[in-house]
Every structure is written in C-alpha cells, then in structure tokens.
Amino acid sequence: MALEVLPVPVRPVPLKHSISCLFLEPFLYGIYHRFLQVAPASTVSLDYCRLREAVQPPATIIEPIDIHACLYCQSPQIVKDGVRHNNHGNIQKFRCKACGRYFTINIGFERMKHSPQGITAAMQLYFSGESLRNTAKSLRLIGVEVSHKTVYCWIRKYVEVMGKYLNQIKPQVSDTWRADEMWLKIKGNPKYLYALLDDETRYWIAKEVAGDKFSREASEYASQLFRQGKEITGKKPLTLITDGLHAYHLAYKREFYAHQKPVTQHVEHIAWQKDKGNQKMEAFNGTVRSREKVMRSLKREDSPILDGYQIFHNHMRPHMALGGKTPAEAYGIKVEGQDKWLTLIQNASRKYPKAHNSWHT
C-alpha cells in the first residue's frame, strides 16, 4: 500500500525568529524525509517554497500618493471640484468642505511647465533605449513640444531626487555577489565601468567609473566598488564571484577578507563552462552596452544617465529570469501604480519621504 504523504503544516514565523529558521530549514527538511522513509524530494509533495516564504521579511510597498487631507486645515473632508486648464494639461482641483478653500496638488512637479505624464513618459522612453532627440520627437505625438536638452534636464533633476530617496532603503540582497567591468567611452576616451550585482535577484548594488583595469590604480577602483557595496547593503557577502582580473583579488583582500568567521569566499571564474562562468554578469553588461551604444558616448564620468539606468534596471525593467519581476521586487520592494516613475518621484518629493514597511531603516 502506497504511503500517503501529507504536506508539512507551516506556522507563520515571527520576524525575530527568521535567522533561526534559516538554519533549521535544511535540518527539518531532512528529518521529514527520513521519518517518512520516502523517495527523494522529486517524488514528494513537499512545498519547500512555503518554508522559504515563512521566514521572508514583509515586503516594502511604495504606493502612489493619494490626497486625503486639506493643505490648510488638515481636514479629511475634501472632494474633487473641477480641473484647472492650462496650455500643457489639466490639474485636478480640490475643495475642502470644512474651510471651503480650494487647492491643487502636483507633488514633485511644482512649477514645471509640462505635465507629469509627459515627463515620466520621456524618462521611460529614454531609458528603454531611445536617444534624447528621438524621445523629444516621440513626445510630440502626445502633444508635448520640447527639445532634447529639456529631456536631459528632466532626467538630471529627477534622477537626483529619486536617488536620494532610494538610498534610504537598504536592499536585502543575497549573500552571493558578482563583479565585472566593461569598456565604454566618456567624452570619446576609453573608460571602464565596474559594476557589483546580486547573484540571486540581479540587483545592481554599486558602480564605479575607472580609467583602466590593468594599472596599480585598478585595485583602488575595485576596492571603492566593494566599499560602496558594504555601505549600501550594510553587510559583506559570503561569496564573491569575479573573473580573473588581479585587481579584484587585491580588492577582495583589502575589503572582504577577514580572519574571523564568516569568511567571504572569492571565486575567480575564468572559464565559460556552465558551472564556472560569469554569464549572469556578462548578460548584465550586454544590457548596459545596448543602452550605451545609442548614446555613442557619455559626456562626463558622473553622468546622471548611469544613475538613472541603475534605477531603471532595479525598479522599472522586468526580468524574464525573475519571472517578470524587477530586481527590487525579487527581494521585497514593490513600486505600485501604473506609472512607477510617477510613484517614485511623488514619494521622493514629499517632505518626509518614507516607504511603508516595518523592517528597513
């Protein structure tokens, strides 16, 4: 008679026990199969993913800002009362039933000549692969007449705003990181972009623009990259995967190596076999190369284009390998709303910007 296997009941685990459960998962998994004396996991209806979900921290939700109180008396008794027309779109008007005053709210886009929808559409078009001039031409189809310089000014302004806001949220990345460098042009001169990527979620952790990768200064560039990764995530990885560039080895010794456990393991993959390659990092380099090829050349090393593409990669662009999720969604940060650019800009422009969650600082 075949032995009926029942799924393991999983009790919701409080957050303070999350670390303990991570160590107990493999132990409980083995005990369960040994006790039932059944075949390997492929023949058992054990929902192992439920064990993983039970110890995950609650998701961080960045929601679109909804108007819920009067700007003057803070009364919640407000209603929509018509729109204000201008040459570049309509702005919603609100009326407070308590004080009788009218007001409009255009969070993040105050004193901007064009509509928020035109600005966010320009950012989406540009970081999806269009040039500045093609982006300006495409905006004319929705009635937004701007030059390519205006599009660049929008990108420079709002990338800085969103960057300051997102830097407050500490990414909960995995313990395996990848690093690699790629060649690009800045003002026509050859430079190298060093990038640090999370292996599990493809989250772009940090970047560094360097002059070369073979001189003595190359290890300083790599060290700065790893130092940024520690500051942004608040931890060191347990495994660091790179190619055979000697600068990574020196930087690893300087930033990650320690005599106390846990010790970061440095895996220097230099082959293209399935288990010895750095294909995930090379695929990432290909997406950056596709974007850089349209620009032909960056104008400066601290260009907002790189910062903007990092935001686009982490929070806007869905990845097939992640089941259609963005890297940020893969580790628990979800930007809601039809227009994610608008949601981020609104939250970043608030007086006290803070995402709704209970676990990040």
pLDDT of the residue at 210: 85
Q: How many CA atoms lie within 13 A of 284 on its CB side?
A: 28
**Ranges of each domain in the chain:** 15-56, 176-299
DSSP state of 166: H
pLDDT of the residue at 273: 61
191, 209 Cβ separation under 8 angstroms: yes
pLDDT of the residue at 22: 41
Element (H, E) at 79: strand 78-86
pLDDT of the residue at 271: 62
pLDDT of the residue at 102: 86
Report pTM: 0.75
341, with CB counted inside 10 A (0-12, 13-18, 19+), is buried
pLDDT of the residue at 232: 93
Compute the distance between CA of residue 109 and CA of residue 346 in angstroms, rounded to an integer. Answer: 8
At residue 346, φ and ψ (nearest 5 deg) are -60, -50
- Domain 176-299 architecture: 2-Layer Sandwich (3.30)
Ranges of residues in the chain with a pLDDT under 50 are: 1-55, 352-361
AA identity, residue 159: V
pLDDT of the residue at 53: 46
Compute the distance between CA of residue 266 and CA of residue 250 in angstroms, rounded to an integer. Answer: 11
Give the model confidence (pLDDT) of 195-211 as tens digits: 999 999 999 999 998 88
pLDDT of the residue at 110: 81
Give the model confidence (pLDDT) of 40-69 as tens digits: 433 333 343 444 444 455 578 888 887 788
